[in-house]
Amino acid sequence: MIWIKTFFGILFQTLILGIFLFLPAFTLNWPEALLFLCIHFSITILASCYLLIRKPESIQARLNYDSKAQPKEDKLATTLMFIAIILGLCLAPIDIFHFNLSPSFEGMTKNIGLCIYIFGLLLFMAAMNSNEFAETTVNIQEERGQKVIDTGIYSIVRHPMYTGFIFFITGVNIWLGTYLSLILSLIFLVIALRSRIIIEEKTLLKDLEGYEDYCKKVKARLIPYLL
């Protein structure tokens, strides 16, 4: 059952990404966006198959969503995160196909953007591989014996999934968008991430044993030596 749920979940996610890109563009004649969606679907399927075989509990954690257990302030932060990601996708076609307020990326820079996006997606998957407790909501999973994860990518930064989001949005806007869409997307994302991280760490510091020591050991939240 989890295999079926995962496949249709990825298919639905890819369709949603397509809607957020093509609907604002008002055209399907956008080869770069089609390539992006194909790459996204392929990498996510392959990585999820690996996780389902090696770490099925990580996939199950991402499928769990208990709105009753989610604090109200985290619901707001989660909403901001989704809005930031949606805007990050929609701003690219809006500027490219309609406003043309700034130039788009070209040549090697554009291709580098695609690589940045792929790196961000792989980073997100690496975080799932390391952390079997990475749910979509902030809550302590006492029934699953949640503990501090300080191995793998979590030994470098405390919130690697959010780091993946930064690379994801950056790469998408370099590959598909413009200078303006990139800047605006990152501004919205940083505001949302700041809110989510503050709430998440407040909960973890209060209720998860050993998290304070982990914060002292791994000081970087998103990017080593910078954030």
Is-contact 173 100, C-beta < 8 A?
Answer: no
Give the pLDDT score at 77: 77
What length is written for the chain? 227
pLDDT of residue 146: 72
Give CA 43 to chain center in angstroms: 14
Q: Helix or strand or coil: residue 168?
A: helix
CATH (one of 3.40.50.920, 3.40.50.2300, 1.20.120.1630, 3.30.70.60) for 2-217: 1.20.120.1630
pLDDT for res 78: 78
Q: Where are the domains of the chain?
A: 2-217
What is the Cα–Cα distance from 30 to 33, expressed in whole angstroms? 6
pLDDT of residue 31: 95
Q: What is the DSSP letter of 178?
A: B
Q: How far apart are CA 174 and CA 192, in angstroms?
A: 20
List the pLDDT tens digit at each of the 227 positions of the chain: 788 888 888 999 999 999 999 999 999 999 999 999 999 999 999 998 988 888 777 777 666 655 566 667 777 777 888 888 888 889 999 999 999 999 999 999 999 999 999 999 999 989 888 877 666 666 666 566 677 888 889 999 999 999 999 999 999 999 999 999 999 999 988 888 888 888 888 888 888 788 889 999 999 999 887 77
d(CA 133, CA 98): 42
**Nearest in space to 207 (alpha carbons), one of 139, 135, 155:** 139
What tokens does 30 get?
A: 């956008």
Distance between CA atoms of 179 and 15, rounded to whole angstroms?
26
Q: 104 in helix, strand or coil?
A: strand
The residue among 68, 58, 219 whose CA lies nearest residue 137 is: 68
195 and 218 Cβ atoms separated by less than 8 Å: no
Q: What is the DSSP letter of 147?
A: -
